[in-house]
A and B are shown apart, each in its own frame.
Chain A
Amino acid sequence: MSVTPTMSAPTARTSPAFLAASADNWRLALVLGVAVSAAAAAALPAAVAFWIVGAMAALVAVAFAVNAYRRRYYGGLLVAPAIAVLFTMNIFPLLWSLGLSFFAYQSNQQSIRFVGLGNYIKVLTNDIAAADNWHALTNTAMFVVLTVTAQMVVGFLLAMLFAKQFPLRKYLLILVLTPMMLSVVASGVFFTYYYDPTFGILSYVMNGIAGGQFILMDNKAGAVAGIVFADAWMWSPFVMLLVLAGLVSVPKYLYEAAAIDRVSAWRRFWTITFPYIRGLLMLALLFRTIEAFKLADLVILLTKGGNDTMTISYHLIRIANEQNKTSEGAAISYVMLFMVIVLTNLYLYLANRRNRES
């Protein structure tokens, strides 16, 4: 990156001939790379072949980079390193598990057999497996609605509290942000303590008020409430931070003008404040919905899926990790991914349409 093109550099160079040993001859590098990689993968053990394939990938990448630089494809040049990392660590494993979902494969067995759409048919229609999946999915939908609603409402109200500048604001804000920074292991385990029927603080307080033994988690409503409360407590600060960022960005002269015109607080909110936070509310909603679909850790720590609180993500961990049904798990997750993508696109479409209208 240190070399900089001068204004006199030609904007369009011709491509090098196929066999020219030039640093920007990416066609030759690609053919050579694929050939050597294939030979190495076929003939050598995986640990050695990997590094050879890696070196070949680097060679091809360098050829592409030099080519892009000489011909001024800056976009590709800038994006490529990030895409390369994302591809090896995320997209390639994703495609791998997509492939696995068409096979019968268990991670504790050697055998692997092609079954086509068999896994998908099983997870969607089988009497036992599909019933569990749909049930976990319904529970997840319930958790998504409840936790996201709670986070949006609490986060929004907290942001309204912090919207104005006041003494010590900086120090109070960090107190509210702290729950987000806790490790979910620690906060989840401590919530089991707060809810504990014998030692817990909640039961101690409730016993004092109502008398008798108060047990929160002994029915579905209580267990769900416990999980939703813990999750909303941890992640409302995230929503708060985004909304607050919107609130502090509203130009002050708008409020001053509104004060002169004696606009009511209600109207002031909808006509001045809301347009500034709408985009951020939407962003918070998007990120929290994606995360809520993945809710598993708190359920594992608080109820272990008992009292009918199994979520699809925890169900998936059980199937893929504890029962070693790798390919079945992959099939479930792709059904789930499909739903999240549909939801996200619907949502991005609505958000864009609102933007265009205003």
Chain B
Amino acid sequence: MASGPSIWERIGFRRSRGVAEAGWGRTLVVAGVSLVYFLPVLFIIFTAIKPQELALSVPPTLSPTSLFGLIPDRFVFTPTLENFGSVFSRVMTAGGLPEATGFDRFFFNSIVIATVSVLLALVLGTLAAYGFSRYPLKGNDTYLFIILTTRMLPAIVVIIPVILMFRAVGLSGSYSGIILLYTAFNLAFTIWMMKSFFDELSTDVEDAARIDGSSEARVFRKICLPQVVAGLAATFVFGLILTWNEFLFALLLTGPDTRTVPVAMNQAVSSGGRGTDWTLLAAIETLFLIPVFLVTFFLQEHLLRGVTFGTVRK
């Protein structure tokens, strides 16, 4: 008899499993559910590779391949990459030559603004969370609740004073203005999340290090910070997803040079009075989805472990 797991067991058909494991049967069920859940996204991606004239066809074209005859021909379209090209350069006026749309710049803006503000919020928020957790001030809970309150009002209420303030000091339409604003809006979430991570850490090791003569800064850097890496990753992803797609502030506070993709996307698909340009919208969204999708995918393990660690274990 061969020892060790058989080929069947290696690919998942295990005879006896731990209580927290399931086999390919579960994979099949979940794959079905996940695909149905993913369908609206898949449709957007397929629209991005659809010829423009088929965007509003009846019946709707659903697939770039007939899957070996499984899907009837009237639902099938021939894929094209044209739409991705027209995101960056297309004919704007009838009969004219293709013009650059500036979307390369908008993608660059989105990446810079989202990354810098989320990282800045992460640095400031982590320091503050450490302070709230380790050196409680008088009225600590009150401060924390006020910080949460900043997330409760609709953005429109804050926006009018912010517009007036930015205009008065010349921050309107600049990178620093929108980055500072996004930093502030990420801070509330970052502080709440990171504080719960620091609260979970055992202070025994820290106290031991202090007795051995480590400075406060060293305790933070060498002992606390390495233990909350997962939490940092989770907070980064949540913050990135929210900042990446923010629309209202970007609409009102960015200029032509600092415009982000959601704003530009809204303008690109509804300009010219010809109604929505479906394939263009889908192409922009598909390209726009890729960076945040990849970041989430690669930080996924941290995301699960991180959230767990921060909020559950007491």
User: How far in angstroms is the closest Cβ of chain B from A321?
Assistant: 6
- Which chain B residues (145-196) contact chain A, with CB distance < 8 Å? 146-158, 160-162, 164-165, 168-170, 180-181, 183-185, 187-188, 191
**Which residues from chain B contact A233 at a C-beta distance below 8 Å?**
37, 40
Q: Which of chain A's residues 157-178 have a Cβ closer than 8 Å to chain B?
A: 158, 161-170, 172-178
Is the C-beta of B44 less than 8 angstroms from some C-beta in chain A? yes
B-contact 0/1 string along A202-237, CB 8 Å cutoff: 001000000000000000000000000000010000
B residues less than 8 Å from A51 (CB atoms): 169
How many residues in A have their beta carbons less than 8 Å from beta carbons of B? 106
Counting CB contacts under 8 A, is B227 at the interface? no
Contact A78 B135 (CB under 8 A): yes
B29 lies within 8 A of chain A by Cβ? yes
Residues of A within 8 A of B297 (CB): 174
Chain A residues, CB < 8 A from B161: 92-94, 96-97, 100
Q: Which residues of B contact A141 (CB under 8 A)?
A: none
B288 within 8 A of A: yes
- Write out the residue numbers on chain A whose beta carbons fall within 8 Å of the beta carbon of B309: 249
- Chain B residues with CB under 8 Å of A161's CB are 26, 29-30, 33
Contact of A33 with B by CB under 8 A: no
Instruction: Determine which of A82, A181, A183, A200 lies in contact with B265 in the assembled complex, contact meaning CB atoms within 8 Å.
Output: A183
Chain B: interface residue count, which band?
35 or more
Residue on B with the closest CB to A164?
A: B22
- Residue pair A86, B293 in contact (C-beta under 8 Å): no
> Hey, which chain A residues are within 8 Å of B31, CB to CB?
168, 172
- Contact between chains at B156 and A329 (CB < 8 Å): yes
On whether A242 and B137 interact (CB within 8 A), knowing A166-B12, A199-B60, the answer reads no
Interface string of A286-297 (1 = CB under 8 A from B): 000010011011
Shortest Cβ distance from B113 into chain A, in angstroms? Answer: 14
B153 to chain A, nearest CB (A): 5
A90 in the interface, Cβ–Cβ < 8 Å? yes
Establish whether residues A290 and B152, one from each chain, have CB atoms under 8 Å apart when the complex forms. Answer: yes
CB-CB under 8 A from B149, the residues of chain A are 337, 341
In the bound complex, residues from chain B placing their C-beta under 8 Å from that of A200 are 60
Whether B21 is near chain A, meaning CB under 8 Å from some CB there, is yes
Do B304 and A165 have beta carbons less than 8 Å apart? Answer: no
Interface check A119, CB cutoff 8 A: no
In the complex, how many residue pairs between chain A and chain B have their CB atoms under 8 Å apart?
299
Knowing A78-B130, A176-B37, A185-B265 touch, does A94 contact B20 (C-beta < 8 A)?
Answer: no
B interface, over-half SS: helix
A339: min CB distance to chain B, Å: 10
Q: Which of A4, A162, A242 contacts B307 (CB 8 A)?
A: A242
A90 touches B185 (CB 8 A): yes
Q: A79-B131, A82-B127, A178-B289 are in contact. Are A316 and B40 (CB under 8 A)?
A: no
With contacts A86-B150, A316-B156 known, is A181 near B131, CB below 8 A? no
A5 interface hit (Cβ, 8 Å): yes
Q: Which residue of A lies closest to B193 (CB)?
A: A283
Q: Check if A249 sits within 8 Å of B308, measured CB to CB.
A: yes
Other-chain contact of B147, A47, A86, A165 (Cβ < 8 Å): A86
Q: Does B56 contact A (CB under 8 A)?
A: yes
Contact B168 A176, beta carbon cutoff 8 Å: no
Say yes or no: A86-B188 contact (C-beta < 8 A), given A4-B218, A320-B156: yes
Contact, CB under 8 Å: A86 / B187: yes
- Give 1 or 0 for each of A134-176: 1 = CB within 8 Å of chain B CB: 0000000000000000000000001001111111111011111
B65 at interface by CB-CB < 8 Å: no
Option from A81, A97, A100, A276 in Cβ contact (under 8 Å) with B312: A276
A82-B158 contact in complex given A7-B213, A255-B19, C-beta closer than 8 Å:
no
CA A183 to CA B248, docked complex, whole Å? 12
Taking a contact as CB atoms under 8 Å apart, the answer to whether A175 and B34 are in contact is: yes
How many angstroms from the CA of A135 to the CA of B153 in the assembled complex?
Answer: 19
Chain B residues proximal to chain A, CB less than 8 Å: 11-12, 18-24, 26-27, 29-31, 33-35, 37-38, 40-41, 43-44, 47, 56-60, 124-125, 127-128, 130-132, 134-137, 143, 146-158, 160-162, 164-165, 168-170, 180-181, 183-185, 187-188, 191, 213, 215-218, 241, 244-245, 247, 261-262, 265-266, 269, 276, 278, 281-282, 284-285, 288-289, 292-293, 296-297, 300-301, 303-304, 306-309, 311-313
* A and B contact pairs by CB, cutoff 8 A, 10 listed: A86-B184, A89-B181, A91-B150, A97-B158, A158-B33, A165-B22, A176-B38, A182-B44, A199-B58, A277-B312
9 closest A-B pairs by beta carbon, nearest first, are: A78-B131, A75-B135, A89-B184, A4-B215, A82-B128, A245-B307, A93-B161, A186-B285, A96-B161
Given A4-B216, A93-B161, A163-B20, 11 additional A-B pairs, CB 8 A: A78-B128, A89-B181, A91-B146, A169-B30, A181-B289, A183-B265, A190-B44, A190-B47, A244-B304, A248-B304, A340-B152
